Amino acid sequence: MFVMSLNAYPDKQGVSDQFSPREIVLRWQLDFETHCFAQFGSYCIVYDDPNSTVTNTMELRTCNCICLGPTGNFQGTFKFFNLDTLTIIKRKKFTEFPMPDPVIKKLERLGKRDKHTGRLTFADRHNVTFDWDKECKQSPLIDDNAPEPEPASLPFPDNPAEMPGILYESKMPDTTLCKGAPLWWY
C-alpha cells in the first residue's frame, strides 16, 4: 500500500516532473474518491460479492472486516481481513464504521492466541524470521567466463527424466502390423 501511494505522486528526481511513476507505467491516475475511501485498520461492514447468487434466506449478506487498503485496480477494490473466517477477501462495496469495543477485544484475543508481542518481525515466504545480527556472507560474483560448476548428481538416477503421460514417438511400437490405426491404439 505504501509503494502504491508513493508511486502516485511525481518524483522530483524522476523521469517526469508532471507524471507520476504509476501514471507512466499504467497510464491512469489513482482517484482519491475511489482509492482513498477507507483508512488502513478501519472497521468496515463488507457486502457480499454481487456475482454471488442472492437468495431469500436468512444467511448473512455482510461480514465484519478490518480494512487492509486498496488493491490499486481501476475499479477501486479493497482488501479486508474477515473477522469471522480470519481470511483476506477483496470487495468493492463496504461501509466504514467506528471501531466497536467487541471488535477491539476480538483482535486482542487473536493477538494473544497467536502470541504476538507487539513487535514487528520480518520473515521470508517460508515464515523464517530474518536474523539482522548476522553479517551477510555473500559469495563473490561469478564472472561470465568462469568455468561452470559440476552439476550435482541426480536424486533418483533410476527414474528416467520423462514427462508422465506424454507419448514419445521413439517408444511407440512398429505400426506396420495394422496400417491406418491411430497411435493411441497401441
Q: Do 64 and 43 lie in a common domain? A: yes
Q: What is the pLDDT of residues 149-178, one digit of tens each?
A: 666 676 777 776 654 544 444 565 665 555
pTM (predicted TM-score): 0.55
Report which secondary-structure segment, H or E, holds 183. Answer: none
> Which pLDDT value is given to residue 41?
84
Ramachandran area for residue 110 (φ above 0: left; ψ -120 to 50: alpha; else beta): alpha
Q: Does some domain include residue 171?
A: no
Q: Do 84 and 40 lie in a common domain? A: yes
> Which pLDDT value is given to residue 46?
92
User: Is the sign of the CA dihedral 97, 98, 99, 100 positive or negative?
Assistant: negative
Domain that holds residue 21: 1-30
Q: What is the pLDDT of residues 119-151, one digit of tens each?
A: 777 788 888 887 766 555 555 555 555 566 666
> What CATH number is associated with residue 75?
2.30.30
